[in-house]
Amino acid sequence: MRIVSGIQPTGNLHLGNYLGAIRNWVKMQDEVTASGGQCLYFLADLHAISMPHTPAELAANTREMVAALVACGIDPDRSILFNQAQVPQHAELQWLLNGTARMGWLNRMTQWKDKAGKNREGASVALFTYPVLQAADVLLYQATHVPVGEDQKQHLELARDIAQKFNNDFCPEDAPLFTLPDAFIPPEAARIMSLRDGSSKMSKSDPSDMSRINMTDSADTIMQKVKKAKTDPEPLPAEAAGLEGRAEARNLVAIYAVMAGTTVDAVLAEFGGEGFGKFKPALGELLVETLAPINARFLQLREDKAGLDAILRKGAEKARALAVPTLDKTYEALGLVRG
Ligand code: TRP
């Protein structure tokens, strides 16, 4: 079993990031490496240049994301943690796969359509070929499983199509080069909503800092934000159906459930009939218990730029060693002479 997944470096990380991809990566690392499998996790910094960006911010966000991943439990000794920019094989394989990917396939990608919007002529070429780089990311390492959010499922299917066509066009039938990767979409990838408005996602760009729990928040701040979170005057219902039309209440109960590793119904079995005066402190404590140590570690790691760079450098070295054999075979399969 070989797990490969990437995340775009962003700054101002919050609870939504933690409960989204990051926590799931940690869980997979713990399970997969214990049974002899391998995990490769990388920062998709090459993908980040497909949209307008500020170079200094990209560099800072890349390091910040490494600090966050390590603080949350990604262990650079057990997982291979790196950034694409230090493993040139990603970009090389992308170019080689550009011969196999079809314009029509890329034109159907919903992320391309959404991100390019009405102004396709003004979109970068990188935004269009983004999914081919993503295919290269996973095919380069012969990934068997790729944990992603629902929104990335289509890109993973494209990676399989590219692998299949390449194997078909350039490999003997009994010796396909690329492994077809399976998307793995974690069941409990809950959508964490704003603490001020249960209908919008928790986001770093919300002007109200009270809307989110940041990875830089202290225990006191976390508790205060939970206590001030928007709710309604009704007590909690006894089961999930009773949260219908109560977006804020539902969000808080959902956060409790994921943090406690249980279900919404189980949380309501415990708190049904209680008001928020009782529920909020319990939720606050649960969040503080898990997040306060992570946040403290994050703040500490973030200061150590040289240490973070060393983690990425070592991870990249391991990644390159795994990447080279597949890349060599790809050149060869295509008839590219490299003396
Ligand atoms: N496109 C992914 C996202 O935005 C990030 C990503 C890049 C990725 N390469 C990948 C995810 C390879 C999984 C595998 O979330």
C-alpha of residue 3 to centroid of ligand 1, in Å: 13
Find the helix or strand (DSSP H, E) in which 107 lies. helix 103-107
Q: Report helix, strand or coil for 287.
A: helix
Per-residue pLDDT of the chain (339 residues; tens, 9 = 90+): 999 999 999 999 999 999 888 999 999 999 999 999 999 999 999 999 999 999 999 999 999 999 999 999 999 999 999 999 999 999 999 999 999 999 999 999 999 999 999 999 999 999 999 999 999 999 999 999 999 988 999 999 999 999 999 999 999 999 999 999 999 988 766 689 999 999 999 999 999 999 999 999 999 999 999 999 999 999 999 999 999 999 999 999 999 999 999 999 999 999 999 999 999 999 999 999 999 999 999 999 999 999 999 999 999 999 999 999 999 999 999 999 998
Q: Comparing C-alpha atoms, which of 132, 50, 54 is closest to residue 91?
A: 132
- Amino acid (1-letter code) at residue 325: P
Q: What is the pLDDT of residue 339?
A: 85
Please count the CA atoms within 13 angstroms of the CA of 81 that sit on its side-chain side: 25
Q: Domain 209-301 class?
A: mainly alpha
Rounded CA-CA distance 325/319 in Å is 11
Q: Is 312 in the pocket of ligand 1 (CB under 6 A)?
A: no
| Other Cβ atoms within 10 Å of 301 Cβ, number | 20
Nearest residue (CA) to ligand 1, atom 9: 134
CA distances from 260 to 93, 214, 235, 267 (A): 41, 19, 21, 9
Q: Is 154 in the pocket of ligand 1 (CB under 6 A)?
A: no
Q: What is the pLDDT of residue 189?
A: 60
Q: Is 164 in the pocket of ligand 1 (CB under 6 A)?
A: no
Residue with tokens 């939720």: 283
Q: Mind listing the pLDDT tens digit for each residue in 102-154?
A: 999 999 999 999 999 999 999 999 999 999 999 999 999 999 999 998 899 99
C-alpha of residue 150 to centroid of ligand 1, in Å: 11
**Phi and psi for 16 in degrees, rounded to 5?**
-60, -40
H helix runs in 171-275, sequence order? 219-227, 247-260, 264-271
Boundaries of every domain in the chain:
2-190+305-334, 209-301
- Amino acid (1-letter code) at residue 250: R
Q: Is 291 in the pocket of ligand 1 (CB under 6 A)?
A: no
Rounded CA-CA distance 165/330 in Å is 13
118 among known catalytic residues: no
Q: What is the pLDDT of residue 188?
A: 64
Q: What is the pLDDT of residue 191?
A: 82
329 among known catalytic residues: no
Sheet containing strand 182-184, edge to edge, reads: 80-83, 38-43, 2-7, 145-147, 182-184
Q: What is the pTM of this model?
A: 0.94
CA distances from 74 to 13, 78, 117 (A): 16, 8, 35
204 among known catalytic residues: yes
* Radius of gyration (C-alpha) of the chain in whole angstroms: 22
Strand partners, 39: 3
Which one of 3.20.20.330, 3.30.1360.10, 3.40.50.620, 3.40.50.1100 gives the CATH number of domain 2-190+305-334?
Answer: 3.40.50.620
Q: Is 147 in the pocket of ligand 1 (CB under 6 A)?
A: no
Q: Which of 3, 5, 39 to mutate to test the pocket of ligand 1 (most atoms within 8 A of CB)?
A: 5
